[in-house]
Structure 1
């Protein structure tokens, strides 16, 4: 019985850490120096021609996405970082978008773990699809 309580305590502590761990803007509100389209184990980078209003349009799409909030930056700053949390455990994924002229650079990545099981790619590509004129 003691082992069950110990395991439950560890699970609660781990879930609390995942939900309450501080986010350092120096670490999470950033883009690679020269972003190029890339898939990696826990995220993606996408570069899309959107015109000068791409970030503003993406901001409306991202903030309408369930479990997503604007965390750092603003459209006016030209760069925004969003946090999207998984439904059950609340694992945070960070997506940073930057307007560079007519190009929108998007960098989505998981905070915890070595693989995101394609979740960031699906979300970022869904946002890009929503940007495309219908």
Structure 2
């Protein structure tokens, strides 16, 4: 019984440490404020890409919608710059997802991706689709 109690205590402490790390790990703009070449609309295991037409104030309207999303902050960029990267954290654990939205020619590209793990279970795609539905 004593060994089982110790194992449970160690597991609980490990979960607490993971939760603290996930919430406090620094996010550097130079690592995330980027839009890789060759992005195609679709979904990967931990990412999603959407492309919409840039009709005048599309980026401005998207920026307002995204900033209104709970647990979402701006990491870098601005509407004037033409590219903005946001961090949206999950409610329970605070896992960060990064979304970069940028003007490219006559289009707006939205690129959402996770930081930790290998699969986001479609969360980034759902988030992007929700923002675009509000647009």
What TM-score do you get using the length of structure 1 for normalisation? 0.92
Shift of 1:97: 0.2
Shift of 1:32: 1.4
Give 1:76-91 correspondences, 5 Å limit: 76-91=80-95
Structure 1 residue ranges (4+ consecutive) displaced by more than 2 angstroms after TM superposition: none
Gapped regions of structure 1 (runs ≥ 5): none
What TM-score do you get using the length of structure 2 for normalisation? 0.91
CA RMSD after TM alignment: 1.2
SS at match of 1:51: coil
Shift of 1:71: 1.3
Find the structure with the greater CA-based Rg.
2
| Residues 52 and 102 in structure 1, CA contact (< 8 A), matched pair in contact too | no
Equivalent of residue 97 in structure 1, options 92, 96, 101 = 101
Q: Residues 63-97 of structure 1, C-alpha deviation per residue, up to 9 Å, x if partnerless?
A: 00111111111111110011111111111110000
2:117 aligned with 1:108? no
Aligned residues: 131
| Distance in 1 of aligned mates of 2:106 and 2:56 | 5
SS at match of 2:65: helix
Show the counterpart of 1:41.
Answer: 45
